[in-house]
Amino acid sequence: MATATISFGLVTVPVRLYSAAESTAAISFNLLHDKCGSRLKQQYLCQKDGEVVTRDQMVKGYEFAKDQYVTFTEEEIKAMAEEATRTIEITEFVPAEKVDPVYFDTAYYLGPDKGGERAYKLLAAAMKQTGRSALAKWPARGKQYLVLLRAIEGGLVMQTLHYADEVRPFTEVPVGDAAVKEPELKLATQLVEQIAADEFHPENYQDEVRKRYQEAIQRKVDGQEVTVPTVEQPRAQIVDLMEALKASLAGKAAKAAPAKAEPAAARKASRAADARSARPLARAAGGSRGRR
């Protein structure tokens, strides 16, 4: 995507930026004229006189009070923007676990640029051995980003971060003053342990909503009708928390039980089938003895 240089102390590491994820856009629909099926065109209208305003008649303004604006020219905006120096300046190294993921934004893979392989691997190894990540400043696209460089298996990841004033404090969230009871905590812990996993496997998950959209769109393209499924009614809620925990544990246990009971049930069915098949043979044997 771009090239840059990591700088810490007098050491510089030339790197290349690669997209760490392919952002799958949500399924979007265009607005069409229901009469002829033509796509509609968006226009900007002046709220005061109702005129259609073209782009060459537009200026950018900042609303500092209700319906009050100060305007800026493109040259003034460019003068305020951060100059792209392509330098990722490390300011400090912090323990990797001390940066709350709530600050995480976009991730980029960093790879060494030509001639920077040795310095790149040295930095990644030092960060991995010390268990620290690097906080840095990265000027790009007219902004100054706060970024976190993390050492992963094989190299480095650069994560753009939200600034402190962009993250709302959790104290704004009302959580009430309910107390946690020990028996409830014990059952909740058991439920957690029942569906716990030691590793994260992202390949086990997919966007099922997007999949439904894609399947419906393909059916439409193929000239088929799309049936609207009936909405499943929500299940009755269990008001008592202890009863809800017990029911959840029982439900998880019931799902696991058939797999364990299957061999015994199969053996029982096999013995019953053997007994049924043996009865005609016994009757035949008895009849032959009578004739002799």
pLDDT at position 178, please? Answer: 85
- Give the strand pairing for 2-8 and 87-95: parallel
Structural contact between residues 181 and 127, judged by C-beta atoms closer than 8 angstroms: no
Beta bridge partners of 108: 19, 158
pLDDT above 80 (res 231): no
Span 55-85, pLDDT tens digits:
888 889 989 888 888 888 888 877 776 566 6
CATH domain 2-21+86-166 topology: Ku70; Chain: A; Domain 2 (2.40.290)
Give the Cα separation of 138 and 160 in Å (integer).
9
Q: Is the pTM of this model over 0.75?
A: no
Which of 70-79, 186-195, 254-263 comes out lowest in average pLDDT?
A: 254-263
Separation between Cα atoms, residue 232 and residue 229, nearest integer Å? 9
pLDDT for res 158: 94
**pLDDT for 286:** 44
Place of tokens 């029911």: 247
Q: What is the DSSP annotation of 3-46?
A: EEEEEETTEEEEEEEEESS---PPP----B-TTT-PBP----B-
Domain ranges in the chain are 2-21+86-166, 180-197+239-278
Q: What is the pLDDT of residues 206-222, one digit of tens each?
A: 877 778 878 888 887 88
Q: Hey, is 168 helix, strand or coil?
A: coil
**Mean pLDDT, the chain, whole residue set:** 80
Tell me which DSSP letter residue 207 carries. Answer: -
